[in-house]
Amino acid sequence: MTGHHIILLNEVDSTNDYLKERSYLGEWVAVLAHKQNAGRGRLGRSFYSAPGLGMYLSVLVEATEERVKFLTPAAAVAARRVVKALGADCGIKWVNDLVVEYDDAWKKLCGILVELRDGMAVVGVGLNLMHGEEDFPAALRPVCTSVKLEGGRLASPREAAAMFIRELQQALRDEEGVFGEYKAHCVTPGRAVEVRRTPLDLPIPARAIELERDYAMLVEFEDGRRESIRTGEASVR
Ligand code: BTN
């Protein structure tokens, strides 16, 4: 079994930024924060981090060439396994979110942000654990949920972090298994999506068809043209 070491911080801007500045600490060193003042998501978005109620965790892993593309899916599968072990359920919204479906809309339970620095990857995970509805700002209530709100048991961020790191270690040893699990629980195929090649582009309506083996999403545009989306974003409408 691989070991790990978790640094506990009371307050930090972003656990990802903290570890990116300290990538020399080496593989399986992690940072768990009680409070994040500037938690970040993909594409410059922010991640709301209610103090003490969620797991705001970043983990350093070696970013070998064959691993890099696989890190976000492996982290998504690992986080989903933690959610399941705590007694709740969720799907994976391509490419990096865990979500629960409500009346044809998603509520987000967890987000993942993988960033590279000096040959290392920082795997950042924000998992809402103990939030009640009132713990989210009003604007986020319709689109966010937590393990508790989904009927799961209460777990401390420290417990969930140890579970996540163990699951991530296992996932990184089982690329085929992770693909099967990711595909089985990916809720994006069949959905209307909007493809944006850069955040500034106008969204192009399309339908997600299928997850491909390299984790690209095959989409079909309204004119029938099909394309594998790798670097652009396809977000569910
Ligand atoms: C997303 O929603 O696009 C990803 C959100 C990732 C949030 C986590 S919380 C711990 C780590 N530190 C950050 O600043 N972001 C990630």
Measured from the Cα of 42, ligand 1's closest atom is 3
Q: Which tens digit of pLDDT belongs to each residue from 167-212?
A: 999 999 999 999 999 999 999 999 999 988 777 788 899 999 999 9
Residue nearest to atom 16 of ligand 1 (CA): 124
Is the backbone peptide bond immediately before 95 cis, with ω within 30 degrees of 0? Answer: yes
Q: Determine whether the shortest distance from the Cβ of 48 to ligand 1 is under 6 A.
A: no
Assess whether the C-beta atom of 113 lies below 6 angstroms from ligand 1: yes
Which of 35-44, 63-72, 81-90 is predicted most confidently? 81-90
The answer to pTM > 0.75 is yes
Residue bearing the CA closest to ligand 1, atom 7: 126
Would you say 124 and 143 are in contact if contact means Cβ atoms under 8 Å apart?
Answer: no
Ligand 1 centroid – CA 157 distance (Å): 15
For residue 49, give the ligand 1 atom closest to its CA: 9
Distance CA 83, CA 60 (A): 21
129 C-alpha to center of ligand 1: Å?
14
Quick: pLDDT tens for 93-136. 999 999 999 987 899 999 999 999 999 999 999 999 999 999 99
pLDDT computed for residue 230 by the predictor: 84
Cβ–ligand 1 distance for 76 under 6 Å, the answer: no
Nearest-angstrom CA–CA distance, 38 and 28: 23
Does residue 127's CB lie within 6 angstroms of at least one atom of ligand 1? Answer: no
- Angle (nearest 5°) at CA 212 between 209 and 213: 160
Q: Which residues is 210 bridged to in the sheet?
A: 218
Task: Give CA–CA dist 147/82, Å, rounded.
Answer: 10
Q: Which two tokens stand for residue 117?
A: 């620095």
**CA 114 to centroid of ligand 1, rounded, Å:** 8
What is the pLDDT at residue 231?
A: 62
Task: Provide the token pair at 228.
Answer: 């594998």
Q: Is 178 in the pocket of ligand 1 (CB under 6 A)?
A: no
Mean pLDDT calculated for residue range 4-32: 97
